[in-house]
Structure 1
Amino acid sequence: MLPSSVYEELGLGSIREKVLAGERLSLEEGLRLFECPDLLAVGALAHHVRTRLHGWTTYYVVNQHINYSNICVNGCRFCAFSRRKGQPGAFELTVDQILEKVRERLHDPITEIHIVGGCHPDLRLETFERLLSAIRRIRPDVRLKAFTAVEIAHFARLEGLSTRQVLERLRAAGLDMLPGGGAEVFSPRIRGLLCPEKLSGEGWLQVVREAHELGIKTNATMLFGHKETLQERLEHLDALRRLQDETAGFVCFIPLPFQPHNTKVDDARGTTGVEELKTIAVSRLMLDNIPHLKAYWVMLTVKLAQVALHFGADDLDGTVVEEKIGHMAGADSEQALTRWELERLIAEAGFEPVERDSFFEKVSGERGGANADTAKERGAA
């Protein structure tokens, strides 16, 4: 933490005191943090909260991402991933092809399989039930994290079911958790500009509320850096915070910087490193009831993700492999990292690497932590 005089000079003295006392920040205080010109001062506050919650631990997961199709009826302006059926670049994996991808990595000690795709006009719920059940038979010990709230609502429309019924059927087939995608920014103004065909922000929150009520944990995301205002970012964070007060079902928050390449967003500017780090820090400070914050290296790049660990993030995601959504929008990060590479990145940043599962439960045994001594050597500064 920087000296109190620094925060007094920046007009953030009262915010510093609330952070030290563990008190909730208001949206107005969040705006003052966003507008603060001193990135390091804001980052130091977030780092204080991060270390209060997690010490010097930084988590990672050995996981596998599978995108089953990019064929989608929504046509979001910011999405470089989606295609209409029959368009060049459109793809759709069969159940057998997905299962082959799972079998290809049977030699890896994966604890999580992450499955998402577009809102396909023809794929029915039974297909996904069959897929989850088959993966569960092949890899009975993995956590199946699959289908955004947007996909759940799409399945419900296709089948004439309620979203709760869809969630119940997928849970019975083996679903453990929902990822946090599709949240974007909840602002109706932004959704009208960028994704008018997509599930509304209120709809996203309702599907996630139902998942939590059924005992299905979820993550949450925010796609930032396109056309939203700082106030709209803060209102998004506040909506997540209020739902977490109600359900306590969010495990991790993932701020996602907008990737402007190959999208249909006019005057797309993309984010800067300063904007990304400040958004991560303010998110950590505002989301006082969501335990974990991820520096998603796929969109941040591994180098900035390392820095983000000092700005409030306590998780570096995982090995991933074959991520398509961010990369089709121009992300220039690697497609995959090994466990050794993840541990090295974490340790070099001064933290202790700990392998986790989807629920941030520590993976037992001697797996992980090979570079922990590096982190311990830097002391408790």
Structure 2
Amino acid sequence: MLDSKSYERLGLGAICQKVLEGRRLDREDGERLFACPDVVAVGSLAHQVRTRLHGDTAYYVINQHINYSNICVNGCRFCAFHRKKDEEGAFQLSEADVVQKLKEREHLPLTEVHIVGGCHPDLPFSYFEGILGKVKEFRPQAYLKAFTAVEIAHFARNEGISTQEVLLRLKAAGLDMMPGGGAEIFSPRIRSLLCPEKLSGESWLNIMREAHRMGIKTNATMLYGHVETVGERLEHLMALRELQDETGGFVCFIPLPFQKSNNQVQGVAGSTGVEDLKNMAVSRLMLDNIPHLKAYWVMLTVKLAQVALYFGADDFDGTIVEEKIGHMAGAESEQALTRAGLERIIREGGFQPVERNCFFERVHIANG
């Protein structure tokens, strides 16, 4: 960590003192951190918090991603994944297709199956209950992390029932946890520009509140590096922090850099590596009540995610197996990693690899 005089010269002296004392940062602090030209100084503060919480542990998970369909009614401007029903590249998996994908990886000791897709206009709610049932039947020991708040709202609208009833029925069908996708940036300005058909940021938060109140833990995300301002990023982070104060239901936060290929957002350069690392660090510092921070290697690249472990991140995600959403948008990372590969990357970064499940319960601690 830099000495106190260095932080004073950077205008971060008071923030450094707050961090050392474990006190909460406010919005003005966040603005100062984002404005600081020295990304290493900001990262060092985040690393202090990360080390206080997790020591030298870096988590990973043996998981499999399954996207049941990319057919979607929302048509978000930043999304390269979605297709219309008759458009080239559109797909929809049957229950049998989902099971086949599981069979193809039955040799893997999975602890998590991650299921998301587009907001399909025609699939009945029974289809989604059926998918969960089939996955639980084939992988009874694995946790099911499935369906974003956006999908929950879509199921409720199509079925003519409340989002609470949707959550209760999915939980009965085998849902263990929800991913954090669909949050994007909560700002109404951003949503009106990039995803006007999607539910509002306030509605996303309300669905997560409902999930947390019925005992369903979730993750949370932020898509950055497009047309949002620093102020809108901070508003997003503080809204998550406020809900976490209320419910305690968020397990992990995942900052997602915008992938600029194959979408309708024009004239955006995308984030730089320095911006990605600073955003990671500020997220760790502002979200003092969300225990884990993920360096999602699919969108960061493996090498930058490895560095991000020194900028506040304590989780490297997992094996993935087959990732479509980020790669269809131009992500240049690998499609999958092995346990050995994950452990090597983490260990060479100077951290202790620990396999986890979706609730960050330890499954396996790697030998040095």
Q: TM-score range by the shorter chain?
A: over 0.9
> What residue identity is the alignment partner of 1:346?
I
Q: How does 1:23-172 map to 2 (within 5 A)?
A: 23-172=23-172
Contact 1:245 1:289 in 2 (8 A): yes
Which residue does 1:330 correspond to in 2? 330
Shift of 1:92: 0.8
Contact 1:148 1:181 in 2 (8 A): yes
User: What TM-score, normalized by structure 2, do the two folds share?
Assistant: 0.99
What's the secondary structure of 1:154's corresponding residue? helix
1:339 aligns with 2:339: yes
CA distance in 2, matches of 1:268, 1:230: 15
CA distance in 2, matches of 1:258, 1:62: 25
CA distance in 2, matches of 1:22, 1:4: 16
Which residue does 1:261 correspond to in 2? 261
What's the secondary structure of 2:267's corresponding residue? coil
> What residue identity is the alignment partner of 1:317?
D
> What residue identity is the alignment partner of 2:353?
P
1:369 aligns with 2:354: no
Shift of 1:368: 4.4
Contact 1:299 1:326 in 2 (8 A): yes
> What residue identity is the alignment partner of 2:238?
D
CA distance in 2, matches of 1:322, 1:36: 38
Contact 1:339 1:368 in 2 (8 A): no
Q: How does 1:172-211 map to 2 (within 5 A)?
A: 172-211=172-211
CA distance in 2, matches of 1:267, 1:130: 42
> What residue identity is the alignment partner of 2:168?
E
Gaps of 5+ in 2: none
Please list every run of at least 4 consecutive aligned residues from structure 1 whose deviation after the TM superposition is greater than 6 angstroms.
none
Q: How does 1:207-286 map to 2 (within 5 A)?
A: 207-286=207-286
Which residue does 2:352 correspond to in 1? 352
Shift of 1:130: 1.0
CA root-mean-square deviation:
0.6
CA distance in 1, matches of 2:143, 2:269: 37
CA distance in 1, matches of 2:63, 2:195: 29
What do residues 164-222 of structure 1 show as CA deviations (whole Å, max 9, x unaligned)? 00000000000000000000000000000000000100010000000000100000000
Which residue does 2:311 correspond to in 1? 311
1:301 aligns with 2:301: yes
What's the secondary structure of 2:240's corresponding residue? helix
User: What TM-score, normalized by structure 1, do the two folds share?
Assistant: 0.96
Which residue does 2:16 correspond to in 1? 16
Which residue does 1:321 correspond to in 2? 321
CA distance in 1, matches of 2:307, 2:107: 32
Shift of 1:353: 0.2
Contact 1:343 1:368 in 2 (8 A): no
Shift of 1:138: 1.1
The worse-fitting range, judged by mean Cα deviation, of 154-163 and 134-143 is: 134-143
Shift of 1:335: 0.3
Shift of 1:269: 1.2
> What residue identity is the alignment partner of 2:128?
F
> What residue identity is the alignment partner of 1:38?
D
Shift of 1:106: 1.5
> What residue identity is the alignment partner of 2:204?
W
> What residue identity is the alignment partner of 1:327?
H
What's the secondary structure of 1:197's corresponding residue? coil
CA distance in 2, matches of 1:273, 1:138: 40
What's the secondary structure of 1:59's corresponding residue? strand
CA distance in 2, matches of 1:135, 1:299: 26
| Count of residue pairs brought into register by the alignment | 368
Which residue does 1:377 correspond to in 2? none
> What residue identity is the alignment partner of 2:114?
H
What's the secondary structure of 1:359's corresponding residue? coil
CA distance in 2, matches of 1:321, 1:46: 30
What's the secondary structure of 1:40's corresponding residue? helix
Contact 1:218 1:249 in 2 (8 A): yes
What's the secondary structure of 2:170's corresponding residue? helix
CA distance in 2, matches of 1:137, 1:83: 30
What's the secondary structure of 1:121's corresponding residue? coil
The worse-fitting range, judged by mean Cα deviation, of 104-113 and 53-62 is: 104-113
> What residue identity is the alignment partner of 2:212?
H
> What residue identity is the alignment partner of 2:98?
I
